[in-house]
Copies of this chain bind each other. A is one copy, B any other.
Amino acid sequence: MASDSTLNHAYAVILAGGSGTRFWPVSRRQRPKQLLEGVFGPGTLLERTMARLGSLIPPERIYIFTNTLLKKQIEGLLPQIPPEQIVAEPAARNTAPTLGLAAHEIFRRDPAGIMVVLPSDHLIAKPVMFRRVLRAALRWANTEGRSVLVGLKPTSAHTGFGYLQKGELAGEFQGQRIYKVESFKEKPSAHVAQRYVASGRYLWNGGMFVWRASTLIANLIRFKPKMARGLGRIAESGGATSINVLNRVYPRLEKISIDYAVAEKADEVYAVAADIGWSDVGSWSEVYALRPKDVEGNARPRHSFCLKAKGNLIVSDMFVAAVGVRDLIIVQTSDAILVGNRHQAQDVGKAVAAMESKGWKRLR
């Protein structure tokens, strides 16, 4: 278990700026996945991400990074978090600039601070285990130079995630094993994914990182010096609250993910092999998987009717009748209806992008 002193220096950085398209028509720019109410269970995924930390990291040490469109909503949703810790980036530059900015905020406050980076739109079915994993990661990351990822033990040959190849066992805390990361693998083909999973030597990369703020700052100076200089200028002028400097400098930072910018290049990269019931609920298909079903395998509200219909997901305020159809996603909002193939749910995002380019912007 991490010592008390380690935990006293633990800070969460929750990434809540996403504006994905895969849950259209329910999710929109102004109401992205992490802020949807009731679609993935009670409350929003953002609230649950915070609640899941329990007493491990209290609200006064939680930072939320989002965009200007969502800042007010999030302040209203999470009144426990000091408003100055809810930061709106002036432009979307992917995760490396965001986490660089976060590292400086935390470092200024606590030079010994350790960052726990968490997406705001995932589900974790085993929160106790999750906190145990974080304690192990915090403990291991509380040494200068170490980067720790939360690696998920794969439960299927998923082709939508990056994979981490495990190297030697580096440590173990409370049954949580920490491995050296041998290499990062891009989203694989179905065939390659099957090989990865069968080998037992790979973990999913779920985008959760733990490292000292000082370690990330040092790594950015080494691998992304130009970005590090920009972030340094923002930090010198007072950080995320110095809006003028932020607005001038931040939008010109390189748009790149933390994986590409730092994690894949750094020297001491580790992964905790976690079994925490993790799901990124990446599409309507996964919402279907999570919901209770009727005897015909339809996940549907009471105000619906199915005849000779199997395996459908229905999300609608309006009454829906499904007749003789199979494995569909049927989603209704006040201004749009989606009818999609549940086995090609990832195409919903493509359809929304294509719709936007054809001029249906108001529906985005």
Contacts and interface: CB of A to CB of B under 8 A. Distances in A.
A277 to B, nearest CB: 29
A26 to B, nearest CB: 12
A340 interface: yes
Contacts of A321: 24-25, 336-340, 351-352, 355
Contacts of A337: 316, 318-321, 330, 332, 337
Chain multiplicity (copies): 2
Interface stretch (A37-45, A107-115, A342-350): A342-350
A322 B337 CA distance: 8
A336 B323 contact: no
Contacts of A25: 321
A295 interface: no
A340 B318 CA distance: 16
B307 A360 contact: no
B330 A318 contact: no
Interface in A86-130: none
A191 interface: no
A289 interface: no
B305 A355 contact: yes
A51 to B, nearest CB: 33
A339 B354 contact: no
A324 interface: yes
- Interface footprint category on A: 35 or more
Q: Is the interface of A mostly helix, strand, loop or mixed?
A: mixed
Most chain B beta-carbon neighbours within 10 Å: one of A24, A335, A339: A339
A352 B360 CA distance: 34
Contacts of A343: 324
A337 B305 CA distance: 10
Interface in A291-334: 305, 307-308, 316, 318-325, 328, 330, 332
A305 B353 CA distance: 11
A159 interface: no
B335 A318 contact: yes
Contact of A322 (B305, B308, B323, B339): B339
Contacts of A340: 321-325
B339 A325 contact: yes
A348 B322 CA distance: 9
A355 B309 CA distance: 14
23 contacts: A24-B321, A305-B355, A307-B347, A307-B351, A316-B337, A318-B335, A318-B336, A320-B336, A320-B337, A320-B339, A321-B338, A321-B351, A321-B355, A322-B339, A323-B340, A323-B348, A323-B351, A324-B344, A325-B328, A325-B339, A325-B340, A337-B337, A339-B339
Given A305-B351, A318-B332, 18 more contacts: A305-B354, A305-B355, A307-B354, A308-B347, A316-B337, A318-B336, A318-B337, A319-B335, A319-B336, A320-B339, A321-B337, A321-B338, A322-B340, A323-B338, A323-B339, A324-B340, A324-B341, A328-B328
